[in-house]
Amino acid sequence: MVEIGGIKVGEGYETSGIDVAASIRTIGDAVEVLGQIAERHSGKPVVVIDEFDAIASPDERNMFAALLKQMGDRSINLKFIFTGIAKTLDDLLGAHQSAYRQLETVELPRLGWDARREIVVAAASEFGIDVDTNVNWRIAMISDGYPYYVHSIMERILWAAFSTDEIVTEIDWGLFSSGLADAIQSITAELKRPYEKAVLHRDPEFEDIVWSTADHEDLIRSLDAMHQSYRTIVEKRRDGRSPVDRKRYAALVRKLKEASYGSVMIQEEGRTGWYSYREKMLRGYVRMQAQANGIELTGERPTPKQTIHVGNARSGYRGSSIPQGVRTGKKLSELDND
């Protein structure tokens, strides 16, 4: 039984008629309740707060930091596990630096390439199915290192394999495309909403621009690099549209910082022209959308213009015009005679 301010809460369903939450008015009240819970619950009670970064208000998150500090001062035997996405602990909890002495931070980086591919192989092998190597690499690439996307895509692929009338021995491109389309539909609304706000009812180039921001493994990218990706995407589209120039591109990327465009991007503090995603997992969803539309985001650069180097008195001869390693099928004597 826990009692605070005349409120009694015990096991079962009997409680006083007073709203417990409304009666905890201060951090001290919360510490008092948690202290009594820690004494009565179990030997090593644990509280897990998942997706802590989803609390939008910095003031609300700061209150948790103050709560931890007071619990530490009173040596309350209660462990908290916070999970959330942030660059630093400051971004996650904000103020109360002294509260950090009570915390141990564990960074969970994105999955490496081998780990991504192992998830795919392990899932398929449970059903006695092989995976086309190229399909496996594609799943690894568009997942952006997040297990959520790998699992979601593979789950839908396996359902597609189960639903077909044919005997499936290998996951091929057909099953991949079907599973990817279903996975996109099943993604949570929190990830869909920013993307839809950025591209729906916009000029046609906006989707290309959003895709270009996710066209690399780097989480922080420069405008120059993203514009190169954008030009490559336009080339792959082959729909007759010309890419916008860099100045126009930069203006459109800046719009992606606005709430009306989904607040997709944020500018890196102190680094002019460098951007990252506000919600890092959104990158994976963007990659899935691009793939579903036939655009593979691989970090390729636009095709360079072909130029001929001609030597002169100042620069001299620059060597053979045939790149090293290219096989022409001719002997050196034949080349000399050409």
pLDDT digits (tens, 9 = 90+) for 143-191: 988 898 999 999 999 999 999 999 999 999 999 999 999 999 988 888 8
* In contact, 201 and 261? CB cutoff 8 Å: no
Burial of residue 177 (CB within 10 Å: 0-12, 13-18, 19+) is: middle
Residues 148 and 70 in one domain: no
- Considering the domain boundaries, does residue 250 fall inside one? yes
Tell me, yes or no, whether 312 lies in a domain: no
Q: Is the pLDDT of residue 80 over 90?
A: no
Cβ-contact 163, 256 below 8 angstroms: no
Q: Do 267 and 257 touch, CB atoms closer than 8 A?
A: yes
Q: Are residues 76 and 7 in the same domain?
A: yes
Residue 96 and residue 72 in one domain: yes
> Is residue 326 predicted with pLDDT exceeding 90?
no
Residue 49 lies in a domain: yes
The answer to whether residue 300 sits within a structural domain is no
Q: Are 284 and 151 in contact (CB under 8 A)?
A: no
Residue 45's closest CA among 54, 57, 36, 32?
A: 36
Using CB atoms within 10 Å of the CB of residue 23, give its burial: 0 to 12 exposed, 13 to 18 middle, 19+ buried.
Answer: middle
What range defines the domain where residue 214 resides?
204-292
Tell whether 196 is covered by a domain: no
Is there a domain that residue 302 lies in?
A: no
* pTM, entire model: 0.66
In terms of domains, do 14 and 96 share one? Answer: yes
Number of domains in the chain: 3
Tens of pLDDT, residue by residue over 178-233, are 999 999 998 888 888 999 999 998 888 899 999 999 998 888 999 999 999 999 99
Both 93 and 24 in one domain: the answer is: yes
